[in-house]
Amino acid sequence: MSPQKSKRVTRQRQLVYECVIDSKDHPSANEVFTELQTSGIGLATVYRQLSNMVDEGILKSFEHSGQIRYDPLVTPHAHFVCTVCDKIWDVDLPESILLTTPNVSNVDIEGLELTWKGICESCK
Ligand SMILES: [Zn+2]
Ligand SMILES: [Zn+2]
């Protein structure tokens, strides 16, 4: 990669990462793309940067309502999802759950996803 090109990629990566952090709502690739539209970053680049960062463990991804959402908080945590506005909040995992081992044998555990659903303050 030429120095010029690698500089551009670094800048794009930075913008995509900051967008995920700033959104505070676990955005999808499409939402990141829309947010960064004025910077001229294409949707394919947004997808590539997001998936690279997930591979590197800088971001986490999970599926919500049929869409992949991106999460800058990579430590174990739970989510609260509002069933009206679809906003997603980060919630602490109850410590008791972290100490639980699932009742299945011969599996490799890769993680735990816990989501509470309900109606948020502004939708009540
Ligand atoms: Zn709501
Ligand atoms: Zn989260």
- Give per-residue pLDDT as tens, 4-32: 778 877 999 999 999 999 988 899 999 99
Residues 49 and 86 in one domain: no
Encode pLDDT of 30-87 as tens digits: 999 999 999 999 999 999 999 999 999 999 999 988 999 999 999 889 999 999 998 9
Residue 1 in domain: no
Category of 31 on φ-ψ map: left (φ > 0), alpha (ψ -120 to 50) or beta: alpha
Q: Provide the number of structural domains found in the chain.
A: 2
The pTM of this model reads: 0.84
- Residue whose C-alpha is closest to residue 97's, from 87, 107, 111, 108: 111
Q: Which helix (H) or strand (E) holds 15?
A: helix 3-23
Distance 73 CA to ligand 2 centre (A): 6
Residue 2 in domain: no
Residue 55 CB neighbour total at 10 angstroms: 9
Residues 63 and 84 in one domain: no
Distance 90 CA to ligand 2 centre (A): 5
Residues 111 and 63 in one domain: no
Distance 120 CA to ligand 1 centre (A): 4
Q: Which of 56, 71, 86 is the last residue of a domain?
A: 71
Which domain, by its residues, includes 115? 78-123
